[in-house]
A and B are shown apart, each in its own frame.
Chain A
Amino acid sequence: MTQYVILNKTDLDEFISRLAQIKKTVAPVKRGVKNYAFEEVTSGKNVAVKYIPTILPPKKYFLPQTETLQQYDKSKKTWNAVMEFQEMIIFGVHTCDLAGIQCLNMAFSDKPKDINYLARKNRILIIGLECNDYCDEYASCKVMDNHMPNGGYDLFFTELDDFFMVHINTLEGEDLIEKTGLFKEAKEEHKKALKAMREEKRKRFKDEVNVTHNQLKPLFDKSFEAPVWQSLEARCVSCGNCTNVCPTCYCFDIEDEIDLNLTTGVRKRRWDSCQNEPFAQVAGGENFREARGERQRHRYLRKFKYPVDKYSRYFCTGCGRCSRTCMAKINLKETINELAQGAK
């Protein structure tokens, strides 16, 4: 299989139209000032090729906000475990969000496996899209090592002069290339252009915080009693926005719904947030993370410590969404810098 092909920029519109004829296709679309969202598209007309991270990450397709896990029938006393899925193609996934999907894959394939997630993810094709430059000042993808493509896609697009360089990573990706029929083989000159762009990019992207990738874990290992959590305690309002928009947050709640006939119904899971006060409360009233500072610490440790111990991987992609969305202006880069300052 040819590894690289090219697509003329003028053919992008047609490419998206043809994708949409193959399967439901979603892509980043502009939603107001500095706001983008993944939405269904039928042509390239509305697709934003340059965009800052969407409000919600592509997580919303892999782990939908609500999802049915079981159907029950009280009269027949039966329970049925079910899964929901939709065949689709996601176009335009940045490298940070590719990393986010890889994190979710890891968590849900950890035993006991979550079949609902795993079966759904296999029905979603992923077309990545490179950021040649920083999206904005909130990103910290370089220090998280997610600014360069690291797998996790079927096809990967890089915008260069008047064409896209496209890396074919899977048979399913190659199939899309063949079916859409708009691609040409990449020549030496195209590969050179890609290499030149990447070299430039490496110079432009610098660690966005005052510690290196490898220093983050030891920093968080020693952070339990750090004063920075007290400062977050005073500012965080526990709205849970930071966890909702995070590509690697996957905590959920499970709830029953009953139909109007009062006999049949479904059990659903829906996104939950460790920032909600009752999240860790048990009967009898004990709350194991009562203070907002404790809950914020937990959020950070679930990015920079626990998953590293368990999966040897940071669960922060550096997308910057949590900082962009926080109304209390809690900023991930600042939190890390404050921690590093305090550790000196």
Chain B
Amino acid sequence: MKRVTLKESAYNVKTGKILVAKMLTAQEKYFKIALAGGESLDHEPGQFVMVAVPGVGEAPISVSSSPTIRGYFELVVRDAGKLTHVLHQLEAGDTVGIRGPFGVGFPTQILEGNDLVFVAGGLGIVPLRSLINFVIDNRRDFGKVSILLGCKTPQDMLFGDEVDQWEKRLDVNFNCTVDKADPDWKGNVGLITSLIPGVTLDIERTFAIVVGPPIMYKFVIAELLKKNIPERQIYLSLERHMKCGVGKCGHCQIGDVYCCQDGPVFSYDKIKNNIEAL
């Protein structure tokens, strides 16, 4: 067997240098990463990268920062297993391997000029943040913006400072709920679905963008449909097991579509009849 170096390969890895690493919660760690040589990642909001640690493996991680930020990008990693656990040991100055960005992100061109309702459950805020910040950085190009946030307890809230800023903005309608409150919590208590009936929206021009754990989608979509939002104006980001990121390994297949290439962002009308989707 002969072995030769490939210049062009889907498996080429770029070196990413960790500029900042800090714990956000007990389980989630934040990383600010720059590619070697000042190369820009050039991602779309909603895309993901494969993050690699040599000798350990690779995992798909959403880019959490908006592409309006140049020179670095941000990831948030939950300690969920082998690779993510090793990532949690890394600090500023360490390097990781980066492949990507991969997949189809949120359709920013379609969203432009329209009203947006963001619905984020749990870790869903991590990918959704790339779009929320993109919209805020280009605020005048979009209509009304509502952000609905849900998490288990107040301690699980990610990006608290940033969320406070969103809440304070006059051009953003913000609402937040936790499953279980503590004595200091002043917001809503209950599931994220309970926030949807309170939103007033113009169904002609409202797009709902929903990201959260698999179980959340059915219930949130049911609530949105009750408000008569057309199916094609609901966008979701789906999570699947991924190994290659380039539509070959088969792990991420959802019926006839590949989450890594055709997604992870899908409009609801495109996948509602896909029995493996929701």
Residues of A bordering B, CB below 8 Å:
68-70, 72, 74, 77-86, 107-108, 110, 112-116, 119, 224, 250-258, 262, 265, 267, 269, 272, 274, 278-284, 286, 288-289, 298, 301-302, 305-306, 309-310
Contacts and interface: CB of A to CB of B under 8 A. Distances in A.
Contacts of B84: 283
A97 B254 CA distance: 28
Interface string B98-114: 00000000000000000
Judged by DSSP, the binding face of B is loop
A310 B95 CA distance: 39
Interface string B206-223: 000000011100000000
A8 B251 CA distance: 49
27 contacts: A68-B3, A70-B11, A74-B54, A74-B55, A81-B9, A81-B11, A81-B13, A82-B6, A83-B9, A84-B1, A85-B1, A86-B1, A110-B247, A115-B9, A250-B250, A251-B250, A252-B250, A256-B55, A267-B11, A269-B244, A272-B250, A279-B241, A279-B250, A283-B84, A284-B214, A286-B214, A286-B215
A112 B247 contact: yes
B181 interface: no
A262 to B, nearest CB: 8
Contacts, number: 144
B6 A114 contact: no
A113 B247 CA distance: 10
A62 to B, nearest CB: 13
Query: Which of A78, A80, A255 counts the most chain B CB atoms within 10 A?
Result: A80
B55 A81 contact: no
B2 A84 contact: yes
A70 B13 contact: yes
Contacts of B12: 79, 81
B54 A265 contact: yes
Interface string B240-268: 11011011111101111000000000000
B256 A305 contact: yes
Contact of A254 (B3, B57, B215): B57
Contacts of B57: 254-256
Contact of B248 (A81, A252, A255): A252
Interface residues of B, number: 47
Contact of B243 (A70, A252, A281): A252
B162 interface: no
A80 B243 contact: no
A280 B251 contact: yes
A158 B80 CA distance: 57
Contact of A253 (B2, B215, B243, B247): B243
B248 A282 contact: no
A282 B249 contact: no
Contact of A310 (B244, B256, B276): B256
Contact of A114 (B2, B4, B215, B248): B248
A308 B250 CA distance: 16
A283 B248 contact: no
Given A256-B57, A258-B55, A81 B6 contact: yes
Contacts of A86: 1-2
Contacts of B173: none
Nearest to B254: A288
Contacts of A113: 10
Given A252-B243, A281-B241, A72 B9 contact: no
The 8 A-B pairs at the shortest CB distance, nearest first, are namely A251-B250, A283-B80, A81-B9, A79-B13, A258-B55, A72-B54, A69-B11, A81-B12
B13 to A, nearest CB: 4
Query: Which of A255, A283, A305 counts the most chain B CB atoms within 10 A?
Result: A283
B109 to A, nearest CB: 22
Contacts of B3: 68, 82-84
Given A256-B56, A310-B256, A80 B5 contact: yes
A268 to B, nearest CB: 11
Given A70-B13, A82-B5, A306-B255, A256 B54 contact: yes
A284 B247 CA distance: 23
Contact of B241 (A72, A79, A82, A282): A282
B227 interface: no
A254 B58 contact: yes
B153 interface: no
A108 B6 contact: no
A70 B8 CA distance: 12
A301 B257 CA distance: 12
Contacts of A74: 54-55
B4 A112 contact: no
Contacts of B56: 256
Nearest to B252: A280
Nearest to A259: B55
Contacts of A262: 55
